[in-house]
Chains A and B, each alone.
Chain A
Amino acid sequence: MSIPPVLTLRGIRKAYPGVVALDGVDLTLQAGEVHVLLGENGAGKSTLMKVISGAVARDAGEILLDGAPVELRGPRHAQSLGLGIIYQEFNLIPHLSAGENIFLGREPRRAAGVIDQATLLDRAQQLLNNLGVAIDARTAVSRLSVAQQQMVEVAKALSLNARVLIMDEPTSALTEQEIRELFAAIERLKARGVALVYISHRMEELFAIGDRVTVLRDGRHVGTRLIRDTSLPELVRLMVGRDLKEQFPKQAAGAGDEALRVEGLSRAGLLHDVSFTLRRGEVVGIAGLMGSGRTELARAIFGADRLDAGKIFVRGHEQVIASPRAAIALGLGFLTEDRKHQGLVLGLSVQENTCLPSVSVFSRFGVMQPAREASATAQRIADLRIKTPGPHQRVFNLSGGNQQKVVLGKWLTTDADILIFDEPTRGIDVGAKVEIYQLINQLAARGAAILMISSELPEILGMSDRILVMQAGRLAAEFSAADATQEKILAAALGRAGLSAA
């Protein structure tokens, strides 16, 4: 391309104790392109983006902005140069309005330093309108959906005249509809000449939105391609270093005895009369839109929330599950969808997190047995290929996908045989996904019963023996694996089909 790139990175290196996160990475960003960054969990994508946004100082390498070397002194400095980033955890203040958040710290002033609220709202509204989103700048951020909050972040970046905008896994918590809106906004940003960096583990997205793709492996640059000249298998080979045979290696284990049965579960406003049975060896997928009550169902079964009505039978016996502790004692496990808030104690180590639900198993006469904890953790690190310098690394320092693997490891360590997985592969790379699916197969083959909540329909279709669809707190439909199609599930999730026969 003849136009000089907006941003050029050359030979970027960054090491942490025990890990080389980036090792001589090159990257160029052109105005008006969507540049996809691809790589396995822990490959260094987020770290590279933090280098661009000034949040992380590189150990070596150069950064050129419009061809001239720059030294980034910190996030604010990077912002002032037009380098913006949207993290997965937003930095918005919930009780302020969208407009106030957009101009936080840079509020337009009247004489005497008073904030000019009218101008602020006008300009914020204009930014939001330009993005093509229907958000009132006066609405408090806490009342916006996740996708809308993301748009507020985008508007904020634009108000800073961002020329480079980085999105690190922006779609992992969005619905299909919201993803389409995000993509529309991205197209408009492209047209305005913004260079976008897009990180995602959802491979279908990059073909929908990307122009070029750069692949990282173990902190090294392994290739840059034009999206139209490449293919999924090629990219996967670059990422993982080998071919992936099958995305969904489903092996039906055959349903055995009843493991879990729920009857008439209800919780005011959230769950209405939900009943189903889960058998040993079975993987039952739960599909549904965000907010359809899937997580609420899981939490209620696990004793995390109170039930207003309904019965739970574990291995044929009715149980009152008053707390997660009671659920764990009955052999249940619950992988939560939000790893930062519900899944992990970020300040504790990989080992301490992995063993947390099993502390009583790993202690005798009130004393922990570190050797047993260590061996269980070593096993999980090996099985799940958790990328960490050691079991004592704080999980805070792991990459997103590797944190997710630790949450999974927690429940594999408990020997639970009734497992509820809520979005088990969120943030996990394509290669590791297949490994997790194989693990699910193994668990089922050993007689575990698995309830898998997922927003990724291919995953639901590819891995379930049976599929339940929830809509507005009710079970709207049930399909066998053979009958289910994406269309049928979607129709049921949207409430357009009555209770179709199984």
Chain B
Amino acid sequence: MKPRELLTHYGRQFGTLAGLLVLCAVLWALTPHFLTVSNLLNVAQQTAINAVIAVGLTFVIISGGIDLSVGSIVAFAGVVMATLLQRAVPVPLAILAGLGFGFGCGLANGLLISFGRLPPFIATLGMMSMARGGGLLFTDGRPVSGFDEGFRWLATGELLHVPVPVVVMLAVYAIAHFVLRLTPFGRYLFAMGGNEEAAVLSGVPVRFHKTLVYGVCGLLSALASVLLTARLNSAQPIAGINYELDAIAATVIGGTSLMGGQGSVVGTLIGALIMGVLRNGLNLLGVSSFVQQVVIGAVIILAVLLDTAFKRPKR
């Protein structure tokens, strides 16, 4: 692509990136500790969980849908995996089972939406409640805690001095970017979200890919759950409450349109980092968590306001 086309294609991401840099600069000025390597890695690590979920949501939102059940799937898949771990199932197998379980919950969403013709909002609202209740029933409402070092490495380990969760996050984003830009699945997500009827008439297997995208979203929620469980050394049936809101926020701050058909995971990554940096910075500044909520809400609104102002077709 020529530079001008790059700019028109990725201009929105440059804007978000500029927002992130400004935010970092401000926090650096206010608290020098912000810009230390250890703190930045800390931010990245804290961001990883939300960022991984947000990838799945970005896919779903580009396809013209929404998924409210991600937080509940984080909890349910987490307790399932943790229970297996405690029954001495080998770590890789337990993780695979957890991921498979999340994928299955997502597929159930997808089937309800594409074959049951339920609006995504309704189907995933139902799943949100069912998966939450399922996790609570499964554990009798109690957390499942205490795993061996091998599993904990997923939270505490490092690869080339980079914390494992950050490596996982970056790998997920690299793969997701590739999938979105260079695979039929990615292309179909944009086509479906932009104009479903035209997509069907162009031979796009819309139902199949619509089912699949919710499955992928469930899978990524379960992956986030692996990171969360390892970090807390505990899987809790009440984990992940409001995670869907954080992930949606990262997605829209990153410039993905809730109308579908437009968006990028690069933007979402920056959006997730903005959320993470903001939380971290406010903590360093000693701002109370009540005030933090107000600030974060305001930032979401501001980001989308700026976005619509720039996107509004020039007269």
Contact = CB atoms under 8 A, between A and B. Distances in A.
A347 interface: yes
A74 B314 CA distance: 11
Interface residues of B, number: 29
Nearest to B191: A345
Interface string B194-223: 110111111111000000000000000000
Interface residues of A, number: 38
A392 to B, nearest CB: 5
Interface string B263-274: 000000000000
Contacts of B194: 345-348
B161 interface: no
Contact of B187 (A329, A334, A359): A359
A336 interface: yes
Contacts of B4: 17-18
A368 B191 contact: no
B298 interface: no
A348 B191 contact: yes
A343 B198 contact: yes
A477 interface: no
Contacts of A357: 202-203
A392 B202 contact: no
Interface string A400-413: 00000000001000
A328 B201 CA distance: 9
A155 interface: no
Interface string A330-364: 00001010000111111110001000110110010
A392 B1 CA distance: 8
A48 to B, nearest CB: 14
A410 B184 contact: no
B202 A366 contact: no
Given A345-B198, A367-B183, A325 B261 contact: no
A25 B205 CA distance: 47
Interface string B170-203: 0000000000001111011011001101111111
A417 B236 CA distance: 59
Chain A interface mostly helix, strand, loop or mixed?
Answer: loop
A344 B190 CA distance: 12
A399 to B, nearest CB: 15
Interface in B4-50: 4-5, 8-9
Given A325-B203, A328-B203, A347 B184 contact: no
B315 interface: yes
A341 B197 CA distance: 7
Contacts of B262: 347
B87 interface: no
Given A18-B4, A336-B201, A352-B190, A368 B195 contact: no
B182 A370 contact: yes
Contact of B202 (A341, A356, A367): A356
Nearest to A304: B201
Contacts of B191: 345, 348, 352, 356
Given A343-B198, A345-B191, A352-B187, 6 more contacts: A328-B202, A348-B194, A352-B191, A356-B191, A366-B183, A390-B5
Interface of A: 17-18, 54-57, 74, 302, 304, 323-325, 327-329, 334, 336, 341-348, 352, 356-357, 359-360, 363, 366-368, 370, 390, 392, 410
Interface of B: 1-2, 4-5, 8-9, 182-185, 187-188, 190-191, 194-195, 197-205, 261-262, 314-315
